[in-house]
Amino acid sequence: AQKVTQAQTEISVVEKEDVTLDCVYETRDTTYYLFWYKQPPSGELVFLIRRNSFDEQNEISGRYSWNFQKSTSSFNFTITASQVVDSAVYFCALSEMNTGFQKLVFGTGTRLLVSP
Amino acid sequence: DAGVIQSPRHEVTEMGQEVTLRCKPISGHDYLFWYRQTMMRGLELLIYFNNNVPIDDSGMPEDRFSAKMPNASFSTLKIQPSEPRDSAVYFCASSSESSGANVLTFGAGSRLTVL
């Protein structure tokens, strides 16, 4: 069965610090997708990134970067030089071919608090 | 585009009452999803539609819950009768086949409180 674990419930940092949010997944499928979503205080979930299981290249988008390692079943998210606007709950998610790529299973989320 | 539109944003009702949540997906999107978010269970997929047809409703908690999509621009999630344990934020999301169908755009959510 597919499962996503975000062991960090809450992280507090001071502005400009780097922070890494951990995501560990479980799946028996060889073909799957991994995602990160951001849920700011306004409540709406915002898509950040999608990676498929065949693409282990790390990705960088501005201050955001993602490290995908199949060997450890992890898909970690790093924010460099954090800002107050990064304060939100961040969700990692997984969808797999066997159960349908449209069915995303979400982790429990990590609440990030960035203080000035 | 206005994004995914949900109404009402907040609903407070008494146990036993019928609740109807509404969703307008992004125009041109062919998938629509209903998720529920609670502190205890996190984000759960309730049901999803493709081209207005329900594909998977295995996440619907029980017969008190029903969802319909009469056309490409409107969906409802109904709870009848409502119970306090149904209190949650209900999200609607949509996606398009052209983006792989699993890049979801979420609405702002409907916060339901059942007293």
Q: How many inter-chain contacts (A to B, CB under 8 Å) are there?
A: 50
Percent of all residues in chain B with a pLDDT value above 70, rounded to a whole number:
99
Residue B101 has pLDDT above 90, yes or no: no
Residue A98 has pLDDT above 70, yes or no: yes
What is the structure's pLDDT at B99?
A: 80
Say if A44 is an interface residue toward chain B (CB within 8 Å).
yes
What is the structure's pLDDT at A99?
A: 84
Residue A103 and residue B48: Cβ atoms within 8 Å?
A: yes
Residue A18 has pLDDT above 70, yes or no: yes
Which residues pair with residue B47 across a beta bridge? B34
Q: Phi/psi at B86 (nearest 5 deg)?
A: -80, -5
Q: Which amino acid is at A9?
A: T
Residue B100 has pLDDT above 80, yes or no: no
Pick B42's closest partner by Cβ from A37, A47, A109: A109
Tell which of A37, A55, A104 to mutate to test the B interface (max B CBs under 10 Å): A104
Residue B98 has pLDDT above 90, yes or no: no
Average pLDDT value over all residues in chain B: 95
Instruction: Report pLDDT digits (tens) over B42-79.
Output: 999 999 999 999 999 999 988 999 999 999 999 999 99
The owner of tokens 């594909």 is: B55
B100: left (phi over 0), alpha (psi -120 to 50) or beta: left
B18: exposed, middle or buried (Cβ count in 10 Å: 0-12, 13-18, 19+): exposed
Residue A47 and residue B89: Cβ atoms within 8 Å?
A: no
B36: exposed, middle or buried (Cβ count in 10 Å: 0-12, 13-18, 19+): buried
Structure tokens belonging to residue A45: 């979930």
d(CA B71, CA B53): 9
Instruction: Report pLDDT digits (tens) over A43-77.
Output: 999 999 999 999 888 889 999 999 999 999 999 99
Residue A39, CA distances (Å) to A17, A36, A95, A99, B43 in order: 20, 10, 19, 25, 12
Q: Which residues of A76-103 are buried (b: 16+ CB within 10 A; e: fewer)?
A: bbbbeebeeebbbbbbbbbbbeebebbb
Residues 6+ apart with CB under 8 A from A12: A112, A113, A114, A115
Confidence of residue B1 (pLDDT cuts 50, 70, 90): low
Say if A9 is an interface residue toward chain B (CB within 8 Å).
no
CB A70 within 8 A of CB A54: no
d(CA B22, CA B25): 10
B91: exposed, middle or buried (Cβ count in 10 Å: 0-12, 13-18, 19+): buried
d(CA A61, CA B17): 47
The whole-number average pLDDT for the span B94-100 is 87
What is the structure's pLDDT at A56?
A: 86
d(CA B18, CA B64): 9
Instruction: Report pLDDT digits (tens) over A19-49.
Output: 999 999 999 999 999 999 999 999 999 999 9
Taking contacts as CB-CB distances below 8 angstroms, the residues of chain A near B89 are 43
Residue B91 and residue A45: Cβ atoms within 8 Å?
A: yes
Residue A45 and residue B48: Cβ atoms within 8 Å?
A: no
Residue B25 has pLDDT above 80, yes or no: yes
What is the structure's pLDDT at A20?
A: 98
Residue A1 has pLDDT above 80, yes or no: no
Average pLDDT value over all residues in chain A: 95
